[in-house]
Amino acid sequence: MDVKNKKILVCGIARSGVAAAKLLNRRGALVTLQDSKPEEKLDVSLSGLETDGAKLFLGRNPDDIVTDFDMIVISPGIPLELPFVQKAKAAGVPIIGEIELAYAYCSCPITAVTGTNGKTTTTALIGDIMRAYKPKTAVVGNIGEPFAEHAGALGKDDWAVAEISSFQLETIAAFRPKISLVLNITPDHLDRHKTMERYIELKESIGKNQTKEDFMILNADDPYCLKLRTEARRVFFSLRRELDEGFYLNGRQIHVKFNNLDIDLLDADEMNIFGNHNVENALASAAAGICAGAPAETVKQAILNFKAVEHRIEFTRELNGVRFYNDSKATNTDAAIKAITAMREPIVLIGGGYDKRADFSDWIKAFDGRVKHLVLLGEVADKIADTCRAFNFTAFERVNSLKDAVDAAYGKAEKGDCVLLSPACASWDMFDNYEQRGWLFKEFVNML
């Protein structure tokens, strides 16, 4: 991609936007950074960008200037139906995301991970596997490290492992991973994507540019994944059944039957992460490592050494026999159900948050015999309370803040119970992101 002397607008000044602007600057582009927030409300430093020649357009949308640019690099958080985006499209201005931009300057193979749930844990686990095999592996994308920060420094013998959200998939064009993974597909982000069909289409698009020389790793237990189309070689993993070829659970052994391998790789009960959803993540990660050429022993040791990522069923503290877990990354009901079923103790649950048009019925059904009390907060609390009543679950209360939720949950917990923050909702009604929600939860727990 030749951007020298091209006028490029970067919309959205978070970490990925700043990384994109710096990459473009290094390549000789004429960069303007735009954000609807004024500079004093931005969460990132713009130090050095203006002295490198970038211009700033802050505090408003760029409706009046979008047609003045040769290209727009847009943040995944900006809906594509906004008027200024539609105006740019109508004028023929190309619109890409930071992932597509970074891909254009990345010379190494890429493993790209998407799916509704399990992306961060699986991306981190594949990253550990690949670092043991390729020491200069970069773990990037939606996991928190902008791809653009690393793309130019990766050589052809290195590797990139990228977590890719449906928002990021909206703006890919030429992006072609060597290995793609779709872990699962359940309803999510329908407030943005509107229909399940569109959401599935976006997940499928991770492999749209792959060829028969590439791999797409898919969940054989997920009916949506089974139907995804690609030119790549499809490789399956399964928690529930033996496969003629692929990666599956044989008793409690993760079994590999792929190419020249037919082995029990490791005992799932020896892993440091627990719950069947994490066995699925390990199956998918093993598949990604083996497809990339990593030796089976390297894959095994990386999985056995792996510990839980922050905000995903993360043990926080034990106090007077009550264990606290931070699962703030459970931003939808399917992820929260996985956390509930993974817990070994009776649960006092903290839930609620921003409304993504979710149906909470299956989540409430999963409470049976597991959740003894529910503490609700956030804008969707009343909707969840109504669903609780519909299923005759009455052990719930409403609070106004996360600190109040922690205090209330601890007050209801008894020795041998756990307090689980697993909200089943996004965080945007009360927090900047799920990380901030998780950090505050841990802070309030440690204040008890």
Structural domains in the chain, sorted by start: 7-96 (3.40.50.720), 100-305 (3.40.1190.10), 314-447 (3.90.190.20)
Please report the pLDDT score of residue 42 as a whole number: 81
b (16+ CB within 10 A) / e for 366-392: bbeeebbbbbbbbebbebbbebbeeee
Mean pLDDT of the chain: 94
Tell me: pLDDT of 386 over 80.
Answer: yes
Helix 276-291 / helix 296-305 crossing angle, nearest 10 deg: 150
288 to 68, 113, 179, 181, 284: CA distances (angstroms): 43, 10, 7, 8, 6
Q: Output the CA torsion sign for 314, 315, 319, 322.
A: positive
- By the 8 A CB rule, do 274 and 308 touch? no
Radius of gyration of the chain (CA): 22
> How far is residue 77's CA from residue 54's CA, in Å, rounded to a whole number?
22
Note the pLDDT tens digit of each residue in 231-264: 999 999 999 999 999 999 999 999 999 999 999 9
Please report the pLDDT score of residue 84 as a whole number: 95
Q: Which of 10, 25, 286, 22 is nearest to 133 (CA)?
A: 286
Are β-strands 347-351 and 371-376 bridged in parallel, bridged antiparallel, or unpaired?
parallel
Tell me: pLDDT of 274 over 90.
Answer: no
Note the pLDDT tens digit of each residue in 83-110: 999 999 999 999 999 999 999 999 999 9
Q: Which of 65, 51, 186, 173 is nearest to 114 (CA)?
A: 186
Average pLDDT for residues 210-233, to the nearest whole number? 97
Would you place residue 50 in the very low, low, confident or very high pLDDT band (cuts 50, 70, 90)?
low
Sheet bearing 322-326, strands edge to edge: 314-319, 322-326, 418-421, 347-351, 371-376, 396-398
AA identity, residue 72: I
